[in-house]
Amino acid sequence: MKKEDTVKLISAEGMEFVIDKEAAMVSQTIRNMLTSPGGFAEAEHGEVTFPEISAVILEKICQYFYWSLQYSSYNFVGGKETEFHIEPELTLELMMAANYLHT
């Protein structure tokens, strides 16, 4: 996979998650950073730093991006509804991050 096909997401602790650009585009905020005219530094370097999002939460967000790509067009697979599992202790932080990322 070419570097321009990936995006590096960096958590508050400095943990780096390299994911497919297509997956990152699930987030309207990240999409705007990477595609808007005006030369966001994120678009230039292919990196987005989230100083307010912990590594645990950012990892779950990355998992959601891939899940969304796979299942967003349909919620049923083989007659069974698919769900994205969220641990209860992560719910509040994930909701705040999702609000910021418009996902």
Query: Mean pLDDT, the chain, as a whole number?
Result: 88
- Predicted structure pTM score: 0.86
Q: Which domains occur in the chain, in start order?
A: 6-101 (3.30.710.10)
| pLDDT at site 37 | 78
For the chain, strand residue ranges (E) read: 6-10, 16-20, 47-49, 76-77, 80-81
Beta strands at 16-20 and 6-10: parallel, antiparallel or unpaired: antiparallel
| pLDDT at site 70 | 87
Average pLDDT over residues 17-35: 94
Considering only CA atoms, give the Rg of the chain: 14
- What are residue 77's DSSP bridge partners? 80
| pLDDT at site 2 | 74
